[in-house]
Homo-oligomer: A and B are copies of this chain.
C-alpha cells in the first residue's frame, strides 16, 4: 500500500534538482518549507489546480505531455494576472512507482519549468489514485495585477491564439469527427501541450482592463469577466472561424467549429479587454510577446453576451449554457 524507501529515493532522483536558479528562491526543495523573497514593491500571486486521472486526462496520455500540461494550466493562471512566475509546488498521488512514467513526467514538467525559469520548491508524494496538484507562485508590481473586474463599456475584447483547436481534438478523440493526420496533430498539440501566455500577460500590465484564461470555454470564462465587472458584451459570432483551414470548414461545417471556438475549453488562451484607444498598444504588446491576438467584440453597458453577425445583426446564442452568469 505504501511507497517504500528505495522508491522515495527514486522519486527524489527525478524531482530533486540542483540549487534553483530563480533569484526569488532562497531555500528550495528538501526542508519543511521553501523560502522565497519577492522583489521589493511586488505582490505575491498564487494559484492551485488539481488534475485527476479519468477526468482531466486518461491513463494512456504520454507522461511528458502530462507533465507539461499540469504546469501549463497553472502558469496560465499567473499569465492571466500579469504575474511573473517564480516557483511551484507539486503534490503527486501515484498508484505505483513507475520509473519510466516518472522520467517522462518530470522531463515534460521541467522542460516547461526551465522555459519559464520557475523552480520546483516543495511538495509531497503519496500512494493513491493518480492525482496531480500544483500550486504556482508569481510576483507582480503592487496594484498592477490583471483581474476579472475592470472591463468598461466601449472596451474592446481580445483573445490570444487559436481557441477551439483543443475542443476539436477532443471531438476527434471521442470519435465524433475524423481529422486527417496533419490536422489531428495540430489539434492534439493544442489539447495536450498548451502554451501558457505568460509573456503576453506581462506585456498587458497597465494596458488590459481585465483578463482571464480560457479553461472552461471562451464565452463561459468571458462571463466571469462580465460578472465581476458588471457589464455585458457583444461578440462577432464568426470572428474566430478564419483561423480554421477552408478544407476543415468544408468537411466539418461552421456550426461545429463555432461551438469549438466559443464553448470549447482547455485552450489556456487569454481573454482580455482594453480601452478602444489602446488598440495600437495592444497590437504592440502582441508583437512584443510574439503572441497572436485577435479582437472578438466589445464590452457593452448591459449584461450577458450577445452574438452578432458580420453586419451587426443579433444572432441566437446557442452557447448560453456555457455562460454561467448570463441572465
Determine if B127 and A48 form an interchain contact, defined as CB atoms under 8 angstroms apart.
no
A111 at the interface (CB under 8 A from B): no
Contact A48 B89 (CB under 8 A): yes
B47 pairs with A34, CB closer than 8 A = yes
Task: Look across to chain B and name the residue whose beta carbon is closest to the beta carbon of A44.
Answer: B36
Contact pick for A45, options B34, B50, B56, B81, CB 8 Å: B34
Q: CA A50 – CA B40 in complex, angstroms?
A: 32
Interface positions, chain A 298-314, Cβ under 8 Å from B, are: none
From 149 to 173 in chain A, residues with beta carbon under 8 angstroms from any chain B beta carbon are none
Tell me whether A174 is interfacial, beta carbon within 8 Å: no
Q: Is A142 an interface residue (CB 8 A)?
A: yes
Question: Given the complex of chains A and B, what is the CA–CA distance between A131 and B53 in angstroms?
Answer: 12
Interface assignment of A179: CB less than 8 Å from any CB of chain B: no
Is chain A's interface secondary structure helix, strand, loop, or mixed overall? strand
Q: Residue A148 contacts which of B32, B43, B47, B228 (CB distance < 8 angstroms)? A: B32
Number of copies: 2
Q: With A48-B90, A50-B128, A129-B129 given, name 6 new contacts (CB 8 A).
A: A30-B228, A33-B47, A36-B44, A48-B135, A50-B124, A55-B127
User: Does A92 sit at the interface, judged by CB under 8 A?
Assistant: yes
Residue A1 at the chain B interface, CB threshold 8 Å: yes
Most buried by B among A32, A52, A83, A93: A32
Kindly state whether residue A240 has any CB partner on chain B within 8 Å: no
Measured between beta carbons, the chain B residues less than 8 angstroms from A53 are 128
A93 nearest in chain B by CB position: B52
Task: Mark contacts of A118-131 with chain B using CB atoms, 8 A cut-off: 1 yes-contact digit, 0 otherwise.
Answer: 00011110111101
Q: Does A213 contact B (CB under 8 A)?
A: yes
* Interface residue A38 (Cβ < 8 Å from any Cβ of B): yes
Give residues 227-247 of A contacting B (CB, 8 Å).
Answer: 228
A32, B140: Cα distance in complex, Å: 13
Instruction: Name A142's closest neighbour in chain B (CB-CB).
Output: B37
17 A-B pairs whose Cβ atoms sit less than 8 Å apart in the complex: A27-B145, A27-B147, A32-B212, A33-B78, A33-B80, A35-B81, A36-B46, A48-B135, A50-B124, A50-B133, A52-B127, A55-B126, A55-B127, A55-B128, A129-B131, A131-B131, A133-B133
- Which residues from chain B contact A35 at a C-beta distance below 8 Å? 43-45, 81, 140, 145
**Which residues of B are found within 8 Å of A147, using beta-carbon distances?**
27, 31-32
A283 within 8 Å of B by Cβ? no
Given contacts A33-B78, A83-B33, A126-B52, contact A46 B133 (CB under 8 A): no
Verify A44–B47 contact, CB threshold 8 A.
no
Contact B128 A52 (CB under 8 A): yes
A137 interface residue per 8 A CB criterion = yes
Instruction: Give min CB distance, A125 to chain B, whole Å.
Output: 8
User: A49 at the A/B interface (Cβ < 8 Å)?
Assistant: yes
Contacts of A78 on B, CB cut-off 8 Å? 32-33
Q: Are the CB atoms of B124 and A213 closer together than 8 Å?
A: no
Q: Which of A49-92 contact B (CB under 8 A)?
A: 49-50, 52-56, 77-78, 80-81, 83, 87, 89-92
